[in-house]
Structure 1
Amino acid sequence: MDVLLADNHPLILWAFQAMLEEIQPGVSVTSVSTPAAVREAVAAQPSRFGLLLLDLQLGDPASGYELLADLRMQHPELPVVVVSATNHPADVIHAIDLGASGYLPKRLSTTALADALRLVLEGGIFVPPMGPSESTAAVPASASAGPETYQTLPSFEALGLTPRQADVLGLLLQGKPNKEIARRLGLSVETVKDHVQAVLRALGVNSRTQAVLAVNQLAVGRRMGPMTVGVGGSR
């Protein structure tokens, strides 16, 4: 796999590259340090990279989010995982809303960061624990910033998803739009919409962003760590 690593701190670039090469021997890592270099690398070879690790602080935060949004719109098949010095709930939610396939806080311990990178390289999605305590299985009831209220989530067993709904959830967690989910699963877009609504109801949330956070918190609540719901041939 070819990975594009975008960060403007030389030590961070070196540390991430070394960790990626150790976790997955044979991985090819290309490092860039500016928004322009990110755009040029992706535009030059759109199908080359299997993953982009993007630090939103390459410029000011606003331009980082703009870059993320542009990449997801112009290159929807390229998974983008945000790497950040913070893990504020509002930042995580905003990144996932814009289509990020995960969110890696740099403040994670070396072991935790290695586990998170391993999960991402295997096609999973990593979102840091959210809520007033990093060990609580809760998710914001609203994706908007501001005072946070929390709702208790059911166990995975209690969700009662059908196998097809689980497939839809797996692709939904990868940020795939309804048309792409329909194409991959051989379903109509209307059927996919029905499945998405059923999944959201089962999770007790109102949006895809909340679904991503909810699944992550269910895993954390069961002491499983951040997890992925897999779909055959998903990446």
Structure 2
Amino acid sequence: MSLITVIEPHPLIRLGILQLLSNVEPSSSLKGEDYSSIARDTPCTDESDLVLLSISSFEDVHALTTATERVFAPKAMLLLSDSSDMPHSVQGLPPSVAGYVPKNAPPEVLQASVRLVLAGGSCFPMRPNVANSQQSLLTHFKPVNWQIDNERKTKAANANPESEMLGLTPRQYEVLVLLARGYPMKTVGRYLNISVATAKAHTETLYQRLDVHNRNAAVYEAVSRGATLGWPSIGGPQQSAEA
């Protein structure tokens, strides 16, 4: 059982985040803390698999992440920021920092980011190559809406390069994209206009082709191979190290 710790100074926000994450990993244990928890002199006895650390300013990010690392020794840390953009000048963070998500991001973005980081991936924005360097992470997370058949076919056609790279059919890739967003099998079937049984069959096949056994591992394997799964701002470990 994995332990997820949420460090947020505002009680109501902390409670909301905990409720939001309650269905992300059924086998996970959730714990809420405020900033007083990282001011302790002694380390916490329970090592967290993931710490979601709230930061109000990137000016304080080094002190907060260092203190969190010392007290909780997390396997991974995900920053929850009041800002939509993490400055590329921020360096020297603990190696456990695996990404950040703006607090105003949609709930499914936070849930998907948590799943990805728990699976061993990272969630950093790509270093921009054009003038739109101030684009927020949020602009790259677009909810999937394939209820209109023509739009769905267009998206499937655009996904062909990634589906071919992963050794998946376009339909299997569509299923993987929806699974990456945390949708249950019934919702996957509804979006793609297929039965739940067919969605499950596609899921089992794509697991076999990616040589994995569950949703999180499939997402991480796809991202590790260079797939974006419709999220240009999510990169694997190598990409995030270059950012």
Taking structure 1 as the reference length, what is the TM-score of the superposition?
A: 0.50
Larger Rg: 2
Q: TM-score, normalised by structure 2?
A: 0.49
